[in-house]
Amino acid sequence: MLLRGLTWLVLFQLLGTALSVLLLPMLPGPIIGLVLLFGVCLLRGEIGEPLQLAASSLLRYLPLLLVPPAVGVMAYVAAIQADIWAIVVSLVVSLVLSLAFTGWLMQALIRRQARRRGRT
């Protein structure tokens, strides 16, 4: 079961990489594969048992992906200190913009849901 789920994950990643190389070089292949896998799961209406087992098995090792960025931060601390204000400003601006957009989107979805409830 686990091997079948991992095979599906790898196949979708390879398909995404092929599409990236052939058609969409500006998007990473694994992202395209992930979107395709999401679309297939939406069309099927469920996530298969093998895929669910493989994903939950891989999820246990997700914290290991945070080790390389932490090492990079430690290795380039002098470069980060040199540009600390640019980093802080960009982080604050992106935080404010994302919070504003999220609030706007939430209000739009609430209004849409209220209109739908009013019709039924």
Q: Alpha-carbon distance 24 to 20, whole Å? A: 4
Model pLDDT, residue 18: 96
pLDDT digits 0-9 by tens, 59-114: 888 888 888 888 888 888 899 899 999 999 999 999 999 999 999 999 999 999 99
The pLDDT value given to residue 120: 61
Q: What is the DSSP annotation of 46-63?
A: S--HHHHHHHHHHHTTGG
Radius of gyration of the chain (CA): 21
* Whole-structure pTM value: 0.57
Mean pLDDT of all residues in 12-26: 93
